[in-house]
Structure formats: structure tokens, C-alpha cells
Amino acid sequence: MSQSNPIHIAILDLYEGSANVGMDCIMDILDDWSKKQSITIITSVFDVRVKHALPDDTYDLYLSSGGPGSPIDTLTTAWDRAYCNWLDQMYAQKKPVLLICHSFQIACRHFDIGKVGLRKSKQLGILPIHPTADHAIFEALPDPFFALESRMYQITEPNDEKIESMGATIIALEKIRPTIPLERAIMAIKFSALDYILKPIDEEELKTALTNAIETIDFKKEDSQFEALAHNLQPSQKRKLVLKTQESVHVVDLSDILRCEADKNYTFFYLTNGKKILVSRTLKDFETLLSNHGFFRVQQSHLINLDYIERYDKHEGGSVILKDGAAVPLSPAKKEQFFSLLENL
């Protein structure tokens, strides 16, 4: 990756004025990442808790650090209120923000994502973490992967309704404990505009998250166009979809789309003429847009056009066979809804 213009990064320091190896690690990783990616970066540090300093909305990227103490007890402090107002602004403007540990806990409390609470005992050690959804941060990691943990607070009891309304996805949970009847803590969430990364700071995770965020900067205009398309795509209109790739802009009739397949943060479109188009948007984006136009998400990575179903095969857990011969596995959780839709075709 190369970038002609410098990338301006705002770093929010929540360490309450104390020197901390976490900030040193962040700066070292940014420096190494910029050299490897041939990107010029300009960083500005904001002391959130002591100086009540917060960045404006002119930065390309925002990185908010971990910090000491309780993410609950500061609820009524001036800096916490200002920080939460800033989070609202960043979310509304779809700014790319990386939230680390303490920052993530405050954001979850503020957005009512789940229960923020004190653990029964401190979590300390090199422990397994399980990815729960495809995300580029975890692309090269096994399930489970291992990370050094040191935390007293955690997020449990996810508010599924709020998570869905924000376009968020839980992408990692703590270790499985079959002999302990306690809910597993949420370790990472991908918001539509915000990212959380694990503590302690993993160099490769942070570099991947930064690279993903950089890629979103050039698509801000496309975001508004995508939303306008979703608003204008009404049943009474001739149904077309504009698909932008790096090389071309494709105008596709919805009736020509056989299926869509997720590939991390990208989506492949398979057309009736045999063409395959790769678009730099998530499958969830297109599910939201197309679900009222004859498309159904049969499992996590596939969205199909119901008009092209040929049959359902019960072998090996069940698959939907499309008219082009593609066999798409049907998630057990989706079977009841799928067969209900079939009856109404």
C-alpha cells in the first residue's frame, strides 16, 4: 500500500497523566506500520482525562487507548461525559475509531451494548480467545488464538437489539469454560463505524486494523451514495444495483444476481451470465439493502436470490441448490424461516 498524502491520526490518551508502556507500544507500532506500508503519518496526542482534550472531526483515523481504574465510576465526571459525546459524534459521522480495552468498556457502557461489570477475580495470563465472526483482524489467527490478558472489568450480557440496531457484530469471546457456570465475556466488537482491539496491544492486530481503516477513508463518498441507493430502491422502481470495483462501475439488474458470497470485508456477486464481481463492502450491507427484494441470507457467508432456487437437498446437513448448480449450505438456525419463505414463493 502507498499513500501520497499524509494520514493524520488522533491518539486519545486515557492513562490519566501517567507514563505507560501502552502508549509507547502504540507509537512504536504506528511508526513501524507506516514504514512498511510506505505511508506518511502525522500523530497528535490528546490527554482526555487530565486536560479534557478531545480531537475534532478533521482527522483521518482515531485511536483511543486503554487506561486505569473503573469504566463505571467515572460516569458522572466531566471528562467522561465529554468523551461519550465525542463517541456519539464519531459514530454519527462514521469516523474510523479503534477502541482499546478501557475505551471499549466505556463505549459499551455508553451505547448500552452489554453489562459492564467487575470480574469475580482478575483475569491474568496467556489465555485462549475465540473469534465468532470473520474479520480481517483475525485472518491469520487460529481458533482459538492466545493473548496475554490483564483486566478487572468485562462486558457480558450483550444487548442483542442494540447491537443489531447499530450494525455491530460480536467478533470474539473469551475462553470456553465448560466447568464454570459463568457467561463468557465479549472480547471484541466490530461496529459500523468503530473498532475494538484486544488488550494488550497485539502488533499485527493493530496494524491490520489500521490498514482496514485507511481503506475506508477513500469510500466516504460511496457510503452516502450507498445509503441513497438503499433509500431509492423501492419495489415500484426498476430494480438495479450499482456495484463499484477498483476498475469499473457496474449497473446490474437485481434479477440478474444469483447469489452473493462474503469474503471477509468484501462481497462477491455471481450473475446469471457467469460473471463474478468483487465489491469492497460487507455482505451485511447488501443483506440490509436486498432482503426486501427477494434475497435471503441462508448462512453467514451467503445471500441468495430466491427466484433461482432449484431444490433443497437434505444431504450433509442440508444445502440449497441454485439453478446454476451452486450448492449453498443452509444454516440450521435459518431453516424455519427459509421454508416459510419457500411456501410463499
Q: Are 12 and 54 in contact (CB under 8 A)?
A: yes
Clarify whether residues 162 and 247 are in a common domain. no
**Tens digits of per-residue pLDDT, 201-238?**
556 666 666 666 655 554 444 454 444 444 444 444 44
d(CA 193, CA 213) in angstroms, rounded, equals: 10
**Tens digits of per-residue pLDDT, 19-38?**
778 888 888 888 888 888 78
d(CA 128, CA 148) in angstroms, rounded, equals: 9
Task: Please state whether the peptide bond connecting residue 71 to the residue before it is cis, i.e. omega within 30 degrees of 0.
Answer: no
Of 222, 191, 158, 208, the residue nearest 92 (C-alpha)? 191
Would you state the pLDDT for residue 258? 96
Q: What is the mean pLDDT of residues 81-100?
A: 91
- AA letter at 60: D
Confidence of residue 195 (pLDDT cuts 50, 70, 90): low
Higher pLDDT, 228 or 80: 80
Lowest-pLDDT choice from 41-50, 91-100, 106-115, 267-276: 91-100
Report yes or no on 108 lying in a domain: yes
d(CA 316, CA 138) in angstroms, rounded, equals: 28
Lowest-pLDDT choice from 39-48, 55-64, 308-317: 308-317
What would you measure as the largest C-alpha separation in the chain, in angstroms? 64
Report yes or no on 111 lying in a domain: yes
Task: Report the predicted TM-score, pTM, of the whole model to 2 decimal places.
Answer: 0.58
Would you state the pLDDT for residue 288? 81
Residue holding cell 451514495?
225
Residue holding cell 441454485?
322
d(CA 46, CA 54) in angstroms, rounded, equals: 6
d(CA 140, CA 181) in angstroms, rounded, equals: 31
Of 28, 46, 24, 45, the residue nearest 36 (C-alpha)? 28
Listed residues 173, 203, 218: the one ending a domain: 218
Lowest-pLDDT choice from 4-13, 30-39, 142-151: 142-151
Q: What is the mean pLDDT of residues 122-146?
A: 75
Q: What is the mean pLDDT of residues 275-288?
A: 87
Question: Please, what is the average pLDDT of the chain?
Answer: 81
> Would you say residue 311 has pLDDT above 50?
yes
Q: What is the mean pLDDT of residues 102-127?
A: 86
Would you state the pLDDT for residue 92? 85
Clarify whether residues 152 and 167 are in a common domain. yes
Listed residues 218, 250, 270: the one ending a domain: 218
Of 91, 127, 257, 297, the residue nearest 200 (C-alpha)? 127
Clarify whether residues 247 and 103 are in a common domain. no
Lowest-pLDDT choice from 44-48, 135-139, 253-257: 135-139
Kindly tell me the number of DSSP H helices and DSSP E strands found in the chain.
Answer: 8, 19
Task: Tell me, rounded to whole angstroms, the distance of Cα 323 from its chain centroid.
Answer: 33
Q: Are 227 and 192 in contact (CB under 8 A)?
A: no
Report yes or no on 1 lying in a domain: no
Would you state the pLDDT for residue 232? 44
Would you state the pLDDT for residue 308? 95
> Looking at the 3D structure of the chain, how many domains does it have?
2
Report yes or no on 113 lying in a domain: yes
Q: Are 262 and 283 in contact (CB under 8 A)?
A: yes
Would you state the pLDDT for residue 205? 61
Boundaries of domain holding 247: 221-343
Clarify whether residues 158 and 250 are in a common domain. no
Of 308, 303, 252, the residue nearest 277 (C-alpha)? 252
Q: What CATH number is associated with residue 236?
A: 2.40.50.1020
Report yes or no on 2 lying in a domain: no
User: Percentage of the chain with pLDDT > 90?
Assistant: 31
Angle at 78 between CA 74 and CA 82, to 5 degrees: 100
d(CA 44, CA 10) in angstroms, rounded, equals: 5
Q: How many CB atoms lie within 10 A of CB 262?
A: 20
Residues 6+ apart with CB under 8 A from 340: none
Clarify whether residues 60 and 200 are in a common domain. yes
Confidence of residue 310 (pLDDT cuts 50, 70, 90): very high
